[in-house]
Amino acid sequence: MGTGRRGLITAAVTVVCAVTVLAAPGTAFANPSPAPTSSATPSPTSTPSAPPTPVTNEELEAVREKLDRLYHDAAVATDAYNAAEEKAEKQSAEIVALAKKIVQGKKKLKKLKDRAGAAAASQYRTGGLSDEAQLMLSDDPQEFLDGAGRVIQGQRATKGLLAEMTRAQQDLELYAKDASVQWEKLEANRKAKAKAKAKVKKQIAAAEKLESELEAEEKERLAELERKAAQEAQTEWLDSGILDEIDGEATAQGKRAVEFATAQLGKPYEWGAEGPDSFDCSGLTSQAWASAGQGIPRTSQAQWQQLKRIDTKDMRPGDLIVYFDDASHIGMYVGDGTMIHAPRPGRTVTLAGAGSMPILGVVRPGT
């Protein structure tokens, strides 16, 4: 039985994609061999089953590394989902704005057509006679000349009216074309969002399945291994002497951002969430800075790409620490070598060592 249990864990860890179901339905870690049918009378030679073989720390460490990869991939997919969501919201707003312009443009064009129709009717009432004919038929030449001046002005106004109608028609066509392009982009981002959502769920489900195969005691040991790995990374970071160089003080905005973030301690991580009851990592940092009056991009990757980058030694409370080579995680520095972040599914917003994960760099919202 112990061999079957360990085999399941080993199989779960070594599967490269780590997203397949880890066993046939049934009790976790059950022996895959068929159980013998029980007889009415116990055999005098039967012996009790041996207790399950404990999972070694080496095997649990392999599980921990696999979980890290799964949750990392889920974080990348979450960023893709959030980016698609943000783009979709902007494109929806642009489509609404274009629709309003189209409505206004149609009203304007109708007014211009009404004016053009009135001008045409006025010309019709004059009989369409030439200037020479009207001069010969006029009893008062001066009155005619005065009228001719008004006609010239009217002709110029008519030409201007026609030009304005042409521009209005061109604007309408442009608005309609822009709306069509934005709609196509919106549909593309909806598909991208759905794909990213499916990937997030797949990665998280695989991680949860892997964890569910562990006994309670093994989960405790796994958690201890996670804490140990984070502490070792933090100790290495502190041993570099970096904390002796970091002495920046938070700005008023930075203090407000830190206050918001710390007020969320204990709230659960939820991918794609921006509060108020749950957060993902970039949802927490973006909302913290929004509460301080500074809008920043929604995703950790966009925050890394678009915000001002600073040296780690120059960071101050409120600055954002970006983790991993692909900027897939982010936290907020709160001082004394500590940051606050929303770690991953199954965890809550918490304080952690600023160097407990591989640091890509530091960015600063505001000034």
- Tell me the pLDDT tens digit for each residue of 133-163: 554 445 555 555 555 555 555 555 566 667 7
| Greater pLDDT, 36 or 301 | 301
| Greater pLDDT, 12 or 65 | 65
Q: How far apart are CA 284 and CA 173, in angstroms?
A: 42
| Greater pLDDT, 191 or 230 | 230
- Tell me the pLDDT tens digit for each residue of 170-201: 777 777 777 778 778 878 877 887 888 888 88
What is residue 179's predicted lDDT score, i.e. its pLDDT?
78
pTM over 0.75: no
Q: SS3 of 280, please? A: coil
**Which residues are catalytic, by number?**
281, 329, 341
The region of weakest confidence among 164-173, 229-238, 263-272 is 164-173
Average pLDDT for 220-234: 90
60: its two tokens: 């649990």
Average pLDDT for 302-326: 95
pLDDT(129) > 60: no
Q: Residue 227, by phi and psi: left (phi above 0), alpha (psi -120 to 50) or beta? A: alpha
CB of 366 closer than 8 Å to CB of 253 = yes
Q: How far apart are CA 248 and CA 1, in angstroms?
A: 58
CB of 312 closer than 8 Å to CB of 362 = yes
Query: Looking at this protein, which amino acid is placed at residue 122?
Result: S
Average pLDDT for 272-278: 93
Q: Kindly give the residue spans of alpha helices, DSSP state H, lying in the chain.
A: 2-14, 57-125, 131-137, 141-212, 216-239, 242-245, 252-263, 281-291, 300-306
| Greater pLDDT, 33 or 213 | 213
- Tell me the pLDDT tens digit for each residue of 357-366: 999 999 999 8
DSSP state of 51: P
CB of 200 closer than 8 Å to CB of 81 = yes
Q: SS3 of 317, please? A: coil
- Tell me the pLDDT tens digit for each residue of 318-347: 999 999 999 999 999 999 999 999 999 989
